[in-house]
Chains A and B, each alone.
Chain A
Amino acid sequence: MHSLTIGINTFREAVRNKVLYSILLFALVLVVSAVILGASSIGDPIKFAKDFSLMAVSLFCVIIAVALGSNLLSKELGRKTILNILAKPVARSEFVLGKFLGLFLTVALTCVMMSLMSILVLGHFEGRRDWSLMLMAASSILELMIVVAVAIFFSCIVVTPALAGMFTAATFIAGRSSAYLQVFFQPDYGPFTRASARALYWLLPYLDRYNIADQVVYGERIDPGYLLNLGIYAFAYSCCLMLLSFAIFSRREFT
């Protein structure tokens, strides 16, 4: 219950932040420019515009998650607003969970809004609204759950928001590229390289699976079971990271 109260407050803080609206506006400009760029590209211009828009929505939501997430705890510590909260009967884990919920709610709603904007803008040019783009939004939201958990985890470890942001962004990029690690599983590589690659492969979030833009743009059927699997994986991975965050944050002292 406390986590929900803190989560709603975090969400309220984020939506009253003017920076969020600037990013949303920039994303809208990008979606519109995707249509213009699509007209000058080789092949189906609408497909190009859809692909570009989906990439923009996904990327901007990750940027928001990294920017807000890495600042979240350091801002509380820097402005000492955390003291007023932890002086109440609130467990530290409830505080961290609240921050996670608030940030996840913010980026999830941003993702839905940006996807709806894309559907409306693209629909205007295509002559029909392609609601299947919302499938990509659903997949992105699940991916964002992991990114937010990573951001919270790193901001529990390091005090500097820039470092937390860099680590989160690096984890996102590595997670999106983790399939390439399979190359190092081959017997051509030494045992240490193979073992390290395997360890990293299992440790990093497998975010590449969440990119279903191609299937959505080309109208391929997406198995609901696949989406369910993505959901279970995102939930389990986030839970593990949150448990680690609770443990780290409970050791922290506030001078």
Chain B
Amino acid sequence: MILRISGLHKTFRHAWTYRRIPVLTDLSLEVREGEIFGLIGPNGAGKTTTFKCLLGFLRPTLGRVEFAGAPLTPASRRQIGFLPEQPYFYDHLTVRETLRFYGRLYGMSGAALNARIEALASDLRFDQKLSSPLRTLSKGNLQRVGVAQAILHRPRLAILDEPMSGLDPSGRRLMREIILDLKQQGTTIIFSSHILSDTEVLCDRAGILTNGSLREVVDVKADGAATGYRMVVKDAPAHLADTLRQLAMRTEIGNGGQAYLIADYSGVRAATEAVHQAGAQIESLVPAHPSLEERFLRHAAQLHQAD
């Protein structure tokens, strides 16, 4: 386990009334070495606050953060890279000067640092901008520079706060490629997002955070989490469609025909026999997983009801 958060609480004080405002409540989370972990939640859920507690920008009210089995200290930040939600840089510096500055803070210097900057600029496709002042860069290029400064020192853990935010489709695609490349190089990645499609494509696991509490950790890639079967039937006659509807939990439009979500295997057997008898064709039959979006919306709805 590369990162372990246990019982993290964070409360702020109201500026005038001094009343306690809970922002994080009993957050416990484990991130495994080498995985991509997504922290998803609506705005104000506490994603950025969690990262700020991890990096020491905020002092947790209660709880413990461990990195590689030891309490997280400023020294352990040598193995961590961080991309803020909106990367802020010094306007007076060029891209190269900026990366040299941050590289030196990681203890890098000389030819090795320069070579690393050149390589990253080429990989992240901003090598033409190395001599440009930062104030002249587009949002997409600034985000790339932000990623470069976070992974300059080849960290074990990269924390990316809303890395897709504000990017156009090609920028988002590049960011997805960067994250997957980092994983291939052995870097563990934890990122926050509210773009669920990106999270579903990228993550091994995702934590759903609403109202400062971690509601569920979803094993996005695991097959064992199937909650039924999804059968797509092509050209089903009306009487077969009625039978299948009775056997299914719900129906939806599938690729190549009507999709029936059936709860258990006995239901699948009954549905298969009905299809054979009717002379229709099963287009596909796969285990059904609730999508990340479905799970996320379920938690959001529960929260809405509680309010």
Contact = CB atoms under 8 A, between A and B. Distances in A.
A89 B74 contact: yes
B52 interface: yes
Nearest to B150: A87
Given A88-B105, A88-B106, A83 B88 contact: yes
A81 B82 CA distance: 13
A9 B55 contact: no
B58 A9 contact: no
Nearest to A251: B59
B80 to A, nearest CB: 7
Nearest to A12: B92
A170 interface: no
A171 interface: no
B89 A89 contact: no
B77 A87 contact: yes
A84 B57 contact: no
B106 to A, nearest CB: 6
A254 interface: yes
A253 B106 contact: no
Given A2-B105, A79-B88, A87 B93 contact: no
Contact of B149 (A2, A17, A84): A84
Contact of B78 (A16, A84, A89): A89
A89 B56 contact: no
B58 A254 contact: yes
A16 B94 CA distance: 12
A9 B90 contact: yes
Interface in B57-91: 57-59, 74-78, 80-82, 84, 86-90
A80 B75 contact: no
Contacts of B77: 87-90
A83 B84 contact: yes
B161 to A, nearest CB: 10
A79 B135 CA distance: 13
B87 A84 contact: yes
Contacts of A83: 57, 82, 84, 88
Contact of B105 (A16, A89, A253): A89
B102 A86 contact: no
Contacts of B81: 87
Contact of B92 (A16, A87, A88, A91): A16
A13 interface: yes
Nearest to B51: A87
Contacts of A17: 92
Contacts of B87: 84
A1 B57 CA distance: 22
The DSSP consensus for interface residues of chain A is loop
B143 to A, nearest CB: 13
A16 B52 CA distance: 31
How big is the A interface, by class?
20 to 34
A91 B101 CA distance: 16
A85 B101 CA distance: 10
Contacts of A253: 57-59
A79 B89 CA distance: 8
Contact of B102 (A79, A84, A91): A84
A40 B58 CA distance: 62
A5 interface: yes
B104 interface: yes
Contact of B89 (A84, A86, A254): A84
Given A13-B92, A80-B84, A89-B77, A255 B58 contact: yes
Given A253-B57, A253-B58, A88 B102 contact: yes
Contacts of B57: 83, 86-87, 253-255
Contacts of A16: 92
A57 B97 CA distance: 32
Contacts of A88: 77, 102, 105-106
A88 B83 CA distance: 11
Contacts of A90: 74, 77, 105
Nearest to A85: B105
Contacts of B12: 255
A33 to B, nearest CB: 32
A4 B58 CA distance: 25
A5 B101 contact: yes
8 contacts: A9-B101, A12-B97, A84-B84, A87-B81, A88-B77, A89-B76, A91-B74, A255-B57
Nearest 4 Cβ contacts at the A-B interface: A87-B82, A254-B57, A88-B105, A89-B78
Interface of B: 12, 52, 55-59, 74-78, 80-82, 84, 86-90, 92-93, 97, 101-102, 104-107, 149
Interface of A: 1-2, 5-6, 9, 12-13, 16-17, 79-81, 83-91, 253-255
Given A84-B89, A86-B56, A255-B52, 14 more contacts: A5-B104, A5-B105, A16-B92, A80-B84, A83-B57, A83-B84, A86-B55, A87-B55, A88-B102, A88-B106, A89-B74, A89-B77, A89-B78, A255-B57
